[in-house]
Amino acid sequence: MSEHVLDVNLIYHNAEATLDGAIASVVGQSWPHWRLTLLDDGSTDGGPAIAAFWAARDGRIALKRHRANQGIVGAYRRAFTHGDADFVMPKSADDLIAPDFMAKLMAVLQADRDVAMCHAGALNIDEAGAVLGEVPAHTRLDTPDGGPLQRAMHVMQRYAYSPSFWGIYRREALDLASQPMACGGWDHAFLAEIALYGHIRHVPEPLFLRRGGPAPLWRLARNAGMAWARVRSERDVFADVGPLAPSASCAWAHVETFSLARLSAPERAGLIEAARDILRARWSGPFVREAALVTARLPALLAQAREVARGGATGAATRLRVEAMRLVEALLWVLEPGREAEALAATWRAQTGLAVGPEVAA
């Protein structure tokens, strides 16, 4: 076996408090055929010094630094693409892995070329590393044998949050997948597409130590909006758009992702329709609440876009209008058809002056 089979790409930003432990959990693995790259997303604390200390003492560790903060989605994109090994393991700066994590997951991946990704059971830990309890087993993914579409639908039905995301990926599958979408809940759509290109398996033992609970979808959406603004050196006008309808935005990310998937046109259309049915069943309540919030906030967002344009930032204003309309279209796509959806469409037409409605979403 070659020395370097697995690229471990650890992303961090101002993670001085937890970075040392995260690196130590990689270096302490019983499986030796890895290379660790520490990807600094523009930290301003002592994290880079900790990374440099580890790189100086272990030749398998390399350092990379983003010249500007890319935000959470941009950093994850780099974590999935950096390196050239056959397998890739994205790694956060706060979670830990048990000493046999790599060995047991790689055994699954190397035994079956049809497996695109493998993850493990998980424990929740507090800031001091004390175990709080086991992450429920129902959050683990184990795709069925029915084919690519059935595998993707399994992920849409079952995926909840990150323990089943932080695994080891086959690079062949990552090379086929599109880049993660810049929205809250992007991991839902990303994992569903990965399942199109191979099975997702799990090792039931709790080998992943997850610090803290799942982040609310609205917070992830806000982070994505703020990252967009920072990367473009614009005002943070986008940070307030995504959180208005995070569930609908996450659902719409499936449409955008599957539209680029390596499937036939009928398969893509069928999968998009299946996504709407599955996500409606899972999140119908949040969709209705988000529609009411967007109705209340849409006039202010459009007024803000006009104000930004008067200030000379026409590009930012256009982007804000596009993002607001994207929320409208996403909600029209996911809401159950009927009088309520028709009434909302009429309200949004009046607010925007544009032709939006159920017929557009169809």
Same domain, yes or no: 36 and 161 = yes
Same domain, yes or no: 180 and 246 = no
- Angstrom distance (rounded) from CA 359 to CA 257: 22
Model confidence, pTM: 0.89
Same domain, yes or no: 130 and 226 = no
Given 211, 228, 256, the domain boundary residue is 211
What confidence tens digit (pLDDT) does each residue in 303-316 have? 877 887 787 777 76
Same domain, yes or no: 206 and 236 = no
Model pLDDT, residue 360:
39
User: Per the domain annotation, does 288 fall within a domain?
Assistant: yes
CATH of the domain at 144: 3.90.550.10
Same domain, yes or no: 174 and 255 = no
- Residues (pLDDT < 70) of the chain are 1-4, 213-242, 316, 354-362
User: Per the domain annotation, does 158 fall within a domain?
Assistant: yes
Are the CB atoms for 342 and 295 separated by under 8 Å? Answer: no
What confidence tens digit (pLDDT) does each residue in 332-344 have? 999 988 888 888 8
Same domain, yes or no: 81 and 159 = yes
Model pLDDT, residue 217:
62
Same domain, yes or no: 128 and 274 = no
Q: Which residue range forms the structural domain that includes residue 48?
A: 6-211
Same domain, yes or no: 53 and 84 = yes
Model pLDDT, residue 109:
97
Model pLDDT, residue 232:
47
Same domain, yes or no: 176 and 287 = no
Given 157, 192, 211, the domain boundary residue is 211
Domain count, the chain: 2
User: Per the domain annotation, does 234 fall within a domain?
Assistant: yes
Model pLDDT, residue 222:
56
Model pLDDT, residue 242:
65
Same domain, yes or no: 11 and 61 = yes
Are the CB atoms for 195 and 271 separated by under 8 Å? Answer: no
Model pLDDT, residue 102:
98
Model pLDDT, residue 69:
76
Give the residue ranges of DSSP H helices in the chain. Answer: 19-27, 47-57, 71-81, 101-111, 148-158, 171-176, 186-196, 217-231, 246-259, 265-310, 314-334, 339-352, 358-361
Model pLDDT, residue 235:
45
User: Per the domain annotation, does 1 fall within a domain?
Assistant: no
Same domain, yes or no: 56 and 134 = yes
Given 211, 240, 261, the domain boundary residue is 211
Model pLDDT, residue 83:
94
User: Per the domain annotation, does 152 fall within a domain?
Assistant: yes
Same domain, yes or no: 221 and 107 = no
Residue 162, classed as helix, strand or coil, is: helix
- Angstrom distance (rounded) from CA 211 to CA 124: 6
